[in-house]
Amino acid sequence: MDGHSLAYRAFFALPAENFTTASGQTTNAIYGFASMLANTLRDEAPTHFAVAFDVSRKTWRSADFPEYKANRSKTPDEFKGQVELIGELLDTMNAERFAVDGFEADDIIATLATQAEAAGFEVLIVTGDRDSFQLVSDHITVLYPTKGVSELTRFTPEKVQEKYGLTPSQYPDFAALRGDPSDNLPGIPGVGEKTATKWINQFGSFAELVERADEVKGKVGQALRDHLESVKLNRHLTELVRDVELPRTVADLERRPYDRTALKGFLEVLEIRNPSLRDRLLAVDPGAAEEEAPAPAAGVELDGSVLGAGEVAAWLEEHGRQPLGVATVATWALGVGNVSEVALAAADGKAAWFDTTQLDESDEKAFAAWLADADRPKVMHSAKEALRVFPEHGWRIEGITMDTALAAYLVKPGRRSFALDALSVEYLHRELAPAAADGQLAFGTDEQAEADALMAQARAVLDLGEAFGDKLREVGAAELLHDVELPTSLLLARMERHGIFADRAHLEAMEQQFAGAVQQAVKEAHASVGHEFNLGSPKQLQEVLFGELNLPKTKKTKTGYTTDADALAWLAAQTEHELPVIMLRHREQARLRSTVEGLIKTIAADGRIHTTFSQTVAATGRLSSTDPNLQNVPVRTDEGRAIRHGFVVGEGFESLMTADYSQIELRVMAHLSEDEGLIEAFTSGEDLHTTVASQVFGVERSAVDAEMRRKIKAMSYGLAYGLSAFGLSQQLNIEAGEARALMDTYFERFGGVRDYLRRVVDEARATGYTETMLGRRRYLPDLNSDNRQRRESAERMALNAPIQGTAADIVKVAMLNVDRALREAGLTTRMLLQVHDEIVLEVAPGERERVEELVRHEMSTAVDLRAPLDVSVGVGPDWDSAAH
């Protein structure tokens, strides 16, 4: 296989934005290569296998012809580093790989193919380079990608003859005459593929054509003679070298069993979790037949019981005093849920499964009592999913000592998935039966098999709890789990059950309004160019913008000049034509319409929207929201505020209250950096950004204009989010040099901030992680990576993780304190939402003043900062009116 060729094809076949890890590493080339590799090994079943790579563009060809491939564009930053990682993938598969200084992958392949054919092998070459066609013979076939990375065409001698009208040995002659723009090899003016083929067939070979060049008549004959030296050089360069000195012979290429643990770990680190790709790669492991199931950990043999009516109470009486792993099959949709199955497992090997619909009265009472007993330890995985559903059955849970999903998140927050089966393989070396996408276990109608599988999951949860107990202590996160994350999970489950009331009529009117605005934008766009076209088609939009209107060209991509939002905004600034502005408005209105449509679809039968909060998505510790994503509802535009009008107070309550922190990230940065100037700016009581601007620009506060304040605000927040000078220049639309000068001036005035930002990266590089005030770690191994893109991405994360992470921790502590104070005060007011740094509460009649006093106190005292926390509170009949 030609590693570089196939990786590059995969890179352009798969959108980079869809294949990026939490650390910023792009993986589309790796994914596409791995997919093609798995399919080819499956379909062709080779006994021997190797991959060849280029070392650099400096080869014997570039030495003989300096312009060789000189026209090729710079390698995209997103592609860099992926070839190195493909090499690591091959190492986990114990596959041989070659790269030789001064030679291209094609030459290595030609050498191995020649040796293999001589040794009696049937040879397959997988490459996207047509020069390999010269190697085709009765025993050598080229598999050439003809559709992305999913379809290969077999080039045999007959196929080469059919395609080009030539034998494989004549292909280099043909390529020399035709020229190759991709390699910057010049052709002959007026001579195309048909003429080249005709000459070779007429004269038999390139050498004979050169010898008898005078016999070629007409203009093309003269063109041939005029360019004879260049085509002779082409012929020299297109000939593949078949005797490269290699460290291993064909006999050394026999396929060997994988290091399956390393392969799974590699895929997990790069967050490549598509089960189909993983299974396809493992299925072609030469050692798969001998691969034994992971050895079970000691003591995992289960003495499981399928409990019927009247048997649950007795089982709990006998086994329920020891810690139990709990696994459930539950559903939850639009605020309504159900638990259909429960499995319990103990460390002594005892386990039980029961169908909740089969419980009798004594079972119900015993199970409810066990759940509610805080002295009966329970270990769960993603406990919130059960916590929000159990109340549907009248059950309340206390005594959760461990949530293995949250524990895994605290131990390794950078991973994207915390699925139980993956954690079981990684930490227990134990395979679990998979669950279907809808949460139902995929075991058909066999109740015993279903029960066994769920009991095995419960036991895995219990064992993972023990494993993570040690790991949490190692990373100093045990208190963070028990004091913050677990209580937050309990609170979020209640908030999800509460939901927030929605004014359906208002939202439907908004949807119609945005739909009308979209149609109006379509009409205006058509009128601006004088004909109809599909605004949703990038190809048609490119033709209109850059073909018909001849507007300035934007960034070139594989599919043409980009028409994304940044490009349209740039075009709007560069030209007076109205279409870019109309397109931006069209897309914004379409996005708002989609947002509102999504909200309407999620209104439950109780008239409320029940979002789902996640604690394990953002590596910094911030909460996220899905189904629907309420963090997507804009707040700084008139349309966004109009949408928020649709979230209203529910029946039995008086108003909504919002409370959030003012400039919390900057206050955290001031606290962590201990910069006296920045702390003083916060404690002065004056407008922060104006005060800082006056110090940075050296003018009186009264002389600070709006532009100065805007630049300083962007600077301050940018530093808290790891923004570079280039990023700041893009954000402020200024030159990078001006942005750098602004940062330098800022750091001259606030040296403590500069020193802190340097220190936090240096410390993280030494320890491998950053840490928040509450001890939340984020591991950043790429800080010492040789790959510049990965290293710089990790440095940005090291800058912002302690600040954003501490802010996220503070918000969680504040939520818990507010909730505790509400319940201790016996108030009916309840918390509904948390969006970024904002808390939304539903206030009961007559409780407003007491709640506001309580909220201000608990939030402002959540932690003690040198730049004190400032809380803003607002009240109103809907979410927008409650803003402040």
Kindly report, residue by residue over 143-183, the tens digit of the pLDDT. Answer: 998 765 567 889 999 998 888 888 888 888 887 777 766 66
At 692-719, the pLDDT tens digits run 888 888 888 889 888 888 888 888 888 8
Of the chain, the percentage scoring pLDDT greater than 90 comes to 45
Mean pLDDT of all residues belonging to the chain: 87
Q: Kindly state the average pLDDT of the residues 864-870.
A: 92
- The angle at the Cα of 320, spanning 317 to 324, to the nearest 5 degrees, equals 160
Q: How confident is the model at residue 81 (pLDDT cuts 50, 70, 90)?
A: confident
Name the phi and psi angles at 657, rounded to 5: -125, 135
At 211-244, the pLDDT tens digits run 777 777 777 777 777 777 777 777 878 889 999 9
- Looking at residue 23, its pLDDT comes to 64
E-assigned strand segments in 267-394:
303-306, 324-333, 336-346, 350-355, 378-380
Q: Which helix (H) or strand (E) holds 101?
A: none
E-assigned strand segments in 350-486:
350-355, 378-380, 400-403
- Looking at residue 437, its pLDDT comes to 36
Name the phi and psi angles at 456, rounded to 5: -65, -35
- Looking at residue 56, its pLDDT comes to 75
- The H-assigned helical ranges of 733-787 are 736-749, 751-767
- The rounded distance, in Å, linking the Cα atoms of 701 and 705 is 9
Q: Kindly state the average pLDDT of the residues 16-27.
A: 76
Least confident of 50-54, 363-367, 492-496, 786-790: 786-790
At 347-406, the pLDDT tens digits run 989 999 999 988 899 999 999 999 999 999 999 999 999 999 999 999 999 999 999 999
- Single out the residue of 775, 746, 773 nearest to residue 866, CA to CA: 773
**Residue 241 · residue 103 · CB < 8 Å:** yes
Largest CA distance in the chain: 105
Domains in the chain: ranges and CATH: 3-161+240-253 (3.40.50.1010), 303-498 (3.30.420.10), 501-609 (1.20.1060.10), 665-806 (1.10.150.20)
Q: How confident is the model at residue 435 (pLDDT cuts 50, 70, 90)?
A: very low
Q: Which helix (H) or strand (E) holds 868?
A: none
Q: How confident is the model at residue 432 (pLDDT cuts 50, 70, 90)?
A: confident
Of the chain, the percentage scoring pLDDT greater than 70 comes to 94
Whether this prediction's pTM lies above 0.75 is answered by no
Please say if the pLDDT value at position 786 is more than 80.
no
- The rounded distance, in Å, linking the Cα atoms of 405 and 420 is 8
Least confident of 72-81, 490-499, 559-568: 72-81
Q: How confident is the model at residue 724 (pLDDT cuts 50, 70, 90)?
A: confident
Amino acid at 394: G
- Looking at residue 472, its pLDDT comes to 92
Please say if the pLDDT value at position 462 is more than 90.
yes
Please say if the pLDDT value at position 293 is more than 90.
no
Beta carbons within 8 Å of 526's beta carbon, 6+ residues apart: 532, 533
Beta strands 378-380; 400-403: pairing state:
parallel
- Looking at residue 295, its pLDDT comes to 44
- The rounded distance, in Å, linking the Cα atoms of 36 and 33 is 5
Q: How confident is the model at residue 444 (pLDDT cuts 50, 70, 90)?
A: very low
At 647-693, the pLDDT tens digits run 999 999 999 999 999 989 999 999 999 999 889 888 887 888 888 88
Which H, E and C letters describe 428-459, residue by residue?
HCCCCCCECCCCCECCCCCHHHHHHHHHHHHH
- The H-assigned helical ranges of 772-826 are 788-824
**Residue 89 · residue 6 · CB < 8 Å:** no
- Mutual angle of helices 751-767 and 788-824, in 10-degree steps: 100
- Looking at residue 441, its pLDDT comes to 42
